[in-house]
């Protein structure tokens, strides 16, 4: 067993023996980036402390900065948490989860962008429609949504984790709490399930009728026997929508989502062993069907990579989205109005550079301070060029 086995090592082993023509170019680029992250292949720099009594030197290799990389999300994750804290309203926040039925997994595999778009739009339609309904809230609500596509065993399991404040802003600029209770009720889950299922299926059928989606051969046969039976099965199914007041308060739900907002399908921490000789990856997972017990699983490298590939998002796809009061287009104005309605003075939201610096401070990261003498400043004294393969020869034999 090799201590410290990482996803990058598994990828390097896999890439050395696979025919790259079998893989989509987007996946090859992701694998290439992750396998070279913080190695000489991406280059780096040599730093030296400017304190003459110290002279400590440090070599740093560049990060790949790919969003699927388990080693490149620390500062981005903390910056995101800070942004959520900065936008918080002084009310209880709920944790809401919308899950896509497993019968749609195959469509997600072939049409990830379209299917995940429907998931986002359906979840927001549900929250917005019921929020505007006078029977429940009667005002504009807000939602921060994070897309997850994986289960603990790396199987496809598309779902959205959402932060939803308790109430909404009405047309007169007044804050409206849910009608049933200020702290223990958001919206009826049964209504959320019905609206979510109805809008999702209507959107999906519309795309199917327009022939926008790629339908795998025998898809309907595998999922009910025919198009009609497939549709009836999904309409009669009880779709999963979960909502609960966070026990630990607002900071608890933000910390919870923060842990997962920039996480990939599997972290290096979960990889227990990589047996190169037998091409087997052992990793740990939580079995939620068995009380959340910690268990171990072994997969062959090909199967491990196949499952990991299920969670590579389309290029440029946004997996974190803001809606309603916190939407990027109008959050500054609407959050200010909501805070005023709640009797709290509004403060200017932090800009990106301020959030990043605050994240570095919170993580205790200071790239300039010498880690040895603590007084000197680390300065770049040499640029390390990336190690690239030689160009292919164009000379004909």
**What is the per-residue pLDDT across 213-232, written as a single tens digit (0 to 9) for each?**
999 888 988 787 889 999 99
The mean pLDDT value for 370-396 works out to 76
Q: How far apart are CA 357 and CA 10, in angstroms?
A: 34
3-state SS assignment for residue 353: helix
Q: Tokens for 342? A: 């709640």
pLDDT at residue 228 in the model:
92
End-to-end CA distance of the chain: 46
pLDDT category of residue 183 using cuts at 50, 70 and 90: low
**C-beta separation of 309 from 43 below 8 A:** no
pLDDT category of residue 397 using cuts at 50, 70 and 90: very low
pLDDT at residue 349 in the model:
83
Tell me the C-alpha to C-alpha distance, in Å, between residue 223 and each of 64, 126, 182, 216, 307: 40, 26, 42, 11, 21
Q: Are strands 280-287 and 293-300 parallel, antiparallel or unpaired?
A: antiparallel
Q: Are strands 93-99 and 156-165 parallel, antiparallel or unpaired?
A: antiparallel
Q: How far apart are CA 200 and CA 159, in angstroms?
A: 13
Closest to 222 in 3D by CA, of 113, 103, 101 = 103
Question: How confident is the prediction for the chain on average, in pLDDT?
Answer: 89
pTM for the predicted model, two decimal places: 0.89
pLDDT at residue 392 in the model:
46
Asked which of 34-38, 76-80, 214-218, 260-264 is least confident by mean pLDDT, the reply is 260-264
244 pLDDT higher than 80: no
What are the residues whose beta carbons fall under 8 Å from the beta carbon of 292, sequence distance 6 or more? 286
DSSP state letters, 198-255? HHHHHHHHHHHHTT-S---TTHHHHTTSSHHHHHHHHHHS---EEEE--TT-HHHHHH
Report the b/e string of 179-198 with b at 16+ CB within 10 A. eeeeeebbbeeebbbebbbe
Tell how many helices (H) and how many strands (E) occur in the chain.
Answer: 12, 13
pLDDT digits 0-9 by tens, 300-327:
999 999 999 999 999 999 999 999 999 9
The mean pLDDT value for 123-128 works out to 98
Q: How far apart are CA 32 and CA 18, in angstroms?
A: 13
**C-beta separation of 268 from 70 below 8 A:** yes
Strand partners, 293: 287
Q: How far apart are CA 103 and CA 236, in angstroms?
A: 13
Q: How far apart are CA 116 and CA 108, in angstroms?
A: 7
């Amino acid at each position: 067993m090799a201590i410290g086995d990482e996803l990058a090592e598994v990828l390097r082993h896999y890439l050395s023996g696979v025919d790259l023509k079998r893989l989509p170019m987007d996946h090859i680029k992701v694998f290439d980036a992750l396998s070279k992250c913080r190695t000489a292949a991406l280059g780096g720099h040599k730093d030296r402390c400017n304190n003459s009594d110290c002279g400590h030197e440090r070599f740093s290799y560049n990060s790949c900065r790919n969003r699927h990389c388990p080693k490149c999300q620390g500062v981005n994750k903390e910056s995101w948490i800070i942004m959520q804290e900065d936008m918080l309203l002084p009310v209880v926040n709920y944790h809401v989860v919308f899950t896509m039925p497993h019968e749609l997994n195959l469509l997600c595999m072939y049409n990830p962008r379209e299917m995940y778009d429907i998931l986002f739009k359906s979840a927001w339609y549900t929250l917005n429609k019921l929020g505007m309904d006078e029977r429940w809230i009667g005002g504009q609500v807000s939602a921060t949504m994070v897309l997850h596509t994986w289960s603990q065993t790396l199987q496809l399991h598309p779902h959205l984790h959402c932060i939803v404040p308790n109430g909404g802003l009405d047309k007169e600029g007044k804050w409206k709490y849910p009608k049933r209770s200020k702290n223990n009720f958001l919206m009826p889950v049964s209504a959320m399930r019905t609206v979510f299922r109805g809008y999702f299926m209507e959107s999906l059928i519309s795309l199917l009728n327009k022939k926008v989606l790629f339908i795998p051969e025998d898809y309907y046969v595998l999922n009910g026997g025919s198009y009609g039976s497939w549709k009836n099965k999904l309409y009669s199914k009880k779709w999963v929508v979960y909502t609960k007041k966070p026990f630990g308060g607002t900071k608890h739900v933000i910390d919870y989502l923060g842990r997962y907002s920039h996480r990939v399908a599997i972290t290096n921490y979960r990889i227990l062993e990589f047996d190169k000789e037998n091409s087997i990856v052992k990793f740990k997972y939580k079995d939620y069907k068995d009380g959340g017990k910690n268990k171990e699983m072994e997969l062959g490298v090909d199967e491990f990579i196949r499952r990991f590939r299920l969670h590579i998002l389309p290029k440029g796809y946004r997996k974190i989205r803001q809606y309603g009061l916190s939407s990027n287009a109008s959050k500054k104005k609407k959050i200010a109005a909501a805070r005023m309605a709640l009797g709290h003075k509004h403060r200017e939201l932090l800009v990106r550079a301020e959030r990043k610096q605050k994240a570095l401070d919170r993580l205790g990261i200071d790239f300039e301070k010498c880690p040895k003498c603590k007084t000197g400043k680390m300065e770049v004294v040499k640029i390390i060029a990336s190690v690239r393969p030689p160009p292919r020869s164009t000379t004909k034999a």
